[in-house]
Amino acid sequence: MFKFSIAITVCVFSGAALFAEARANLFFIKRNKNRNEVHYAIRYDEKTCKPVDDESLYGYWQMLEKGPNVFEPIGRLERMAYGIKSQEISGNDLIVQLKAFPDRAIRITFTAAGRCKIVPLIAINGQDTILKSISVFAEEGIIKPTVKYVDISGSRGGAVVTERINR
């Protein structure tokens, strides 16, 4: 049986304004099937340090198999696995649920203390933790992969925190 894993890794940025609004890359899903990655970025207003709307988070492919600077949109069928299930603004936060990991919401916080700081948080072992990665381990199936377990990793108070979820 072919085994593959998916990992979501988070990078916290203060975005550079390449478009009308600022954008910050937050995390990506990595699979061992190949080197391509699904990246998730957020559009936000630099002046107010808030998401531009309740659909500010979006995903795209970084096609590393083709080269380091090759990007493609997530296809319609691929959105069933890698799309965003829901996102809504709640106060100063954006609450997101990914289709790849719908069991736990990701709360993206926006703090304007000097520069805008954007941090994705997820519950690990029942406590809010800065999300670093989500690794999904699955076996390839005839129709679709079968998830065996999910490892969530992050940091809280400078310490690494992990949790395994068996499926």
> What is the helix (H) or strand (E) element at residue 135, kind and residue range?
strand 127-139
Give exposure, 36-60, as e/b (b: 16+ Cβ within 10 Å). bbbbbbbbbbbeebbbbeeebbbbb
Range of lowest pLDDT (11-25, 61-75, 104-118): 11-25
Instruction: Give the confidence band of 8 by pLDDT, cuts at 50, 70, 90.
Output: very low
User: What pLDDT was estimated at residue 21?
Assistant: 66
More confident position, 18 or 79 = 79
Q: Of 121, 126, 118, whose CA–CA distance to 154 is shortest?
A: 121
User: What pLDDT was estimated at residue 161?
Assistant: 95
The pLDDT mean for the chain works out to 82
Q: Structurally, how many domains does the chain consist of? A: 1
Q: Tokens 């380091």, residue?
A: 68
The domain containing residue 138 runs over which residues?
3-166
